[in-house]
Amino acid sequence: MMRRQPVSAYWVLSIIGLAVLTPMAGLLAVGRLPGFEPGDLQFWSSSYIRRVLLFSFWQAFLSTLISLTLALLVARSIAKRGDFPLRNLLLRLFGLPLVVPSIVAVMGIISVYGSAGWFPVGRSLYGLNGILIAHVFFNLPLAVRLLLPVWQAIPEHYDQLAEQLRFTAWQRWIHIEWPTLRENIPGVALLVFMLCLTSFAVVLTLGGGPRSSTLEVAIYQSLRFDFDPTQAVVLALLQLMLCLLIAVIGLSLQKLPEVEISISVNSQAGAASNRLYHNSVILVTAAFIGMPLLAMIFDALRGPVIDVLSDNKLWLAATYTLLIGFAAAFCSVLAGWLLLRTSSVLANHGKIRQAKWLELVGSVVYVVPPLILGTGYFVLLSQHVVIADWVFPIVILINSMMGLPFVIKVLSPVMRKNQMRYDNLCNSLALHGWNKWRRVDWPLLRKPLGLAAALVSALAMGDLGVIALFGSADTTTLPLMLYQQLGAYRIPQAAVTALFLLLLCLLVFWSLERGLGGRKDVTH
Amino acid sequence: MNFSHKLLTGTMLALLFAFPALAEKPLLTIYTYDSFTSDWGPGPKVKQAFEKQCNCTLELVGLEDGVSLLNRLKLEGKNTRADIVLGIDTNLTAEARETGLFEAHTLSIPESSLPQSWTDQIFVPYDFGYFAFVYNRELLKTPPSSLKDLVENPDGPSILIQDPRTSTPGLGLLLWVKKVYGENSDKAWNKLSERIVTVSKGWSEAYGLFLKGEADMVLSYTTSPAYHIIAEKDERFAAARFTEGHYQQIEVAGLLKSSNHKELSKQFLQFMLSQDFQNIIPQTNWMYPAFMESASLPDGFSNLIDPSPSLLFEDSIIASKRKSWVNEWLEAMTR
């Protein structure tokens, strides 16, 4: 029996399409008004744009390559090592770099590798080195979080079989781990690539000069300093198209499993043989991620902790920040789930290409700069409403869209597997709707749902871009407050605010992963 | 009557009383930058002081910076909610004037503490400052004595600057170099680029890196050391005096044609010139107030360097040349 395909994905896609394209159209319309002369075409042939394009993609490619290679090693060690002390804390810490506002991360990295830091690298830090260190700091932990479930999903009897066949580590990798990973790596790589491609303040500051400008800088420049909406939109579309192209190439390497037979799950993979090696990999990674975070904590503890914490405005800002984080996580997870409900059915019916496209389009909206979207919404709405009343819905909308690729990446493998394994069974048991959700989907999905929600909320809580754009007297978020402190020489205060934001995020991560995800792994 | 009923009635009563009270007072809306409105900026004090004398409500809307202010105005045009825009600087006044949205202030401007006489019919200045390279006296014993000294000494100090494409001080330095080097600016930038540790997006990044010890000097303001002296009792920081003079930045406010509260707006501009407003500026905006005798400045300001002669381009020149100068800078820096 073949059930009707859920059409929800097309609704979600239409909404996303509208949410992305109408603000751009609005900006283009403004660009045609008198007084907004469209950019000189010379700009296009200029070596500047060519150089910026090349550099953007080159640094993003290198950052992705390094982050992912390292993440594979690290995730493997964490998976093989099984349980170890502070494992959960470590994995939760891995969610933090995502929330750290870029300027705070840069300061943390400087505290460690700067000329007065713990491990001074010297002037060579500024340039590609600095960019790569920062991007690996941001993305390695994310990639580990995304790849770890893949190892855990390698069936136990594969390991037993490998044991019996006396596979070497290399043979195991080739015959068991790589085929499983191949399905997931392109998606994770795309996500990391998009994050690095759109990185802006980090690239500019650690890049050492305008040689290290990304396309994002050019977009920012044309929309702000030159106030040339046409040029900004054209550059944003260029970024979107190029990213789409790369995604299509990348995802064509992805191989979705068409049959899935194994039901068991790997609960304990810890082969004791390589313990020392795995321990060292985990320790080195923990140190690499932990040191800049530790530096931030030291900076904060030297600051006026009591003063900052006793300020009511901080708590008000924290409330707004939490509100944005939770609301964006809810919207994003809901949209992602609806989209994937369709794509997993499609994939299950052999329409793999269609399924991939759905997920791809849902993901690449990430590279449309929030500055463009925000300004576009402003253009569309400001004639009709008091924009100050709309700051929250807009910020939440934009952040939910930015969170969508994370949701898709986390949920898609799980939802596809569930669809494959249980859909026919559920149909034959006449298990539908709420009952199916409660008995089948929820227990299997709650863990990835928790992770997805945690990631999106972290991303939204750390966001500065959109809220700073609208400007409003009484809605301050923690990142905005942090920047205001920095702008007013209050650097010690800002360090305390940064730590507060970090702890708040850790709390949210913990509560979402625990609350939604439950305590234990659910075995299939 | 249950609890929620009570709550509802209570709220309605409160609203009934609250609304007429709000409606009585006119609302004056000022667009400004958010370091003006933040707790540490002049905003809260200015609001309090002005509301005491105007019988109005002052609403300060904080946008990212001066550039965002101008862009917001361009987008909103005549439909803007703002009565006054406060926080545009002399790099932007020509472009702002061109929008045709501003109205002549018609105030008689008193003698200002600016080094030049103020003749602008549209914009009213409220504070000003000078760009300078700030350094730590304990770490850099002999700072350069001129811009040429900084640029041309290959063993000179390492510096942190901001990007003119994204930041006001960054653009300030670009204009400063242009004033001193003119046609040869690209060569100067090329020489200097060797010792530029990094070019940051905004002032905060560069200043933060400087305090972490990443370079000998950072591009900031002549008044920056005053913050460390007054607020942190820290005397280590100083600005290097350059003999060619320092590039100036004047911050202004302007009245919008579309305002429904013109009288009230003019009252605010008048207030802006008064000592009540001017006194707030030094220790919140860390700039020189435009209408205050130097003797009345707080202590930390008295030992600052003398930035004269002050350097400033006509705003119309900046408006017409900025793009090509920024491109020239890019070429020189990436060569």
Per-residue pLDDT tens over the stretch B145-199:
999 999 999 999 999 999 998 888 999 999 999 999 999 999 999 999 989 999 9
Residue A147 has pLDDT above 50, yes or no: yes
Cβ contact B166–A114 (<8 Å): no
Query: Is B256 in the same domain as B196?
Result: no
More confident residue, A325 or A149: A325
pLDDT tens-digit readout, A402-415: 999 999 988 988 88
A35, A200, A487: residue with CB nearest B35? A487
Residue B256 lies in a domain: yes
How many beta carbons lie within 10 A of that of residue B186, not counting itself? 17
The C-alpha atoms of residue A243 and residue A257 are separated, in whole angstroms, by: 25
* Consecutive H or E run containing A509: helix A491-517
Q: What is the pLDDT of residue A263?
A: 43
Mean pLDDT of B119-125: 94
Task: Give the Å distances, CA to CA, from A250 to A69, A243, A466, B91.
Answer: 16, 10, 30, 46
Which residues from A are below 8 Å from B35, CB to CB?
484, 487-488
Mean pLDDT of B63-76: 87
Closest chain B C-alpha to A457 CA, distance in angstroms: 24
Testing the interface with B: which of A33, A224, A385 to mutate, by most B Cβ within 10 A?
Answer: A224
Residues 381-440 of A with CB under 8 A from B: 382-383, 386, 388
Alpha helices in A312-390 (DSSP H): 312-348, 352-364, 370-381
Type of residue at A48:
Y
Query: Is B30 in the same domain as B85?
Result: yes
Residue A265 has pLDDT above 50, yes or no: no
For the domain that residue B262 is a member of, what is the CATH number? Answer: 3.40.190.10
Q: What is the pLDDT of residue A148?
A: 87
pLDDT tens-digit readout, A358-367: 888 888 888 8
User: Whole domain around residue B326: which residue ranges?
Assistant: 129-248+305-334
**Entry pTM:** 0.87
Q: What is the 3-state secondary structure (H, E, C) of chain B?
A: CCHHHHHHHHHHHHHHHHHHHHHHCCEEEEEEEHHHHCCCCCHHHHHHHHHHHHCCEEEEEEECCHHHHHHHHHHHHHHCCCCEEEEEECCCHHHHHHCCCEECCCCCCCCCCCCCCCCCCCEEEEEEEEEEEEEECCCCCCCCCCHHHHHHCCCCCCEEEECCCCCHHHHHHHHHHHHHHHHHHHHHHHHHHCCEEEEECCHHHHHHHHHCCCCCEEEEECCHHHHHHHHHCCCCEEECCCCCCEEEEEEEEEEECCCCCHHHHHHHHHHHHCHHHHCCCHHHHCCEECCCCHHHCCHHHCCCCCCCCEECCCHHHHHHHHHHHHHHHHHHHHC
Lowest pLDDT segment from A496-510, B4-18, B56-70, B185-199: B4-18
Q: What is the pLDDT of residue A524?
A: 42
Whether chain A has a CB inside 8 Å of the CB on B327: the answer is yes
CA-nearest residue to A30 within chain B is: B75
Pairing of strands B237-239, B84-89: unpaired
More confident residue, A450 or A252: A450
Mean pLDDT of B40-65: 92
| Closest residue by Cα to residue B240 from B314, B156, B120 | B156
Q: What is the pLDDT of residue B181?
A: 96
Q: What is the pLDDT of residue A260?
A: 46
Q: What is the pLDDT of residue A257?
A: 54
Query: Is B100 in the same domain as B172?
Result: no
Confidence at A143, pLDDT banded by 50, 70, 90 = very high
- A35, B70 contact by CB (below 8 A): no
Q: For chain B, how many structural domains are there in total?
A: 2
- A391, A470 contact by CB (below 8 A): yes
Question: What value of ipTM does the predicted structure carry?
Answer: 0.84
Residue B3 lies in a domain: no
Q: What is the mean pLDDT of chain A?
A: 83
Cβ contact B208–A201 (<8 Å): no
Query: Is B148 in the same domain as B200?
Result: yes
Would you give the DSSP letter of residue A441? I
- A366, A405 contact by CB (below 8 A): yes
Query: Is B182 in the same domain as B210?
Result: yes
Q: What is the pLDDT of residue B79?
A: 86
Residue B4 lies in a domain: no
Cβ contact B209–A110 (<8 Å): yes
Query: Is B119 in the same domain as B221?
Result: no
Q: What is the pLDDT of residue B97?
A: 94
Residue partners of A238: CB distance under 8 A and separation at least 6: A53, A215
Type of residue at B234:
D
Confidence at A259, pLDDT banded by 50, 70, 90 = very low
The C-alpha atoms of residue A466 and residue A218 are separated, in whole angstroms, by: 18
pLDDT tens-digit readout, B9-26: 555 555 445 454 455 789
Q: Please, what are the domains in chain A?
A: 50-227+282-302 (1.10.3720.10)
The C-alpha atoms of residue B202 and residue B160 are separated, in whole angstroms, by: 11
Confidence at B273, pLDDT banded by 50, 70, 90 = very high
Closest chain A C-alpha to B38 CA, distance in angstroms: 7
Question: What percentage of residues in chain A have a pLDDT greater than 70?
Answer: 90
Query: Is B153 in the same domain as B238?
Result: yes
Query: Is B181 in the same domain as B326?
Result: yes
Task: Give the Å distances, CA to CA, from A21 to A235, A338, A376, A380, B166.
Answer: 14, 21, 9, 12, 26
Phi and psi (nearest 5°) for B238? -145, 160
Whether chain A has a CB inside 8 Å of the CB on B41: the answer is yes
Residue B1 lies in a domain: no
Query: Is B173 in the same domain as B286?
Result: no
A211, A468, A472: residue with CB nearest B334? A211
Q: What is the pLDDT of residue A43?
A: 56
Residues 473-512 of A with CB under 8 A from B: 473, 480-481, 483-491
Q: What is the mean pLDDT of chain B?
A: 90
Confidence at A44, pLDDT banded by 50, 70, 90 = low
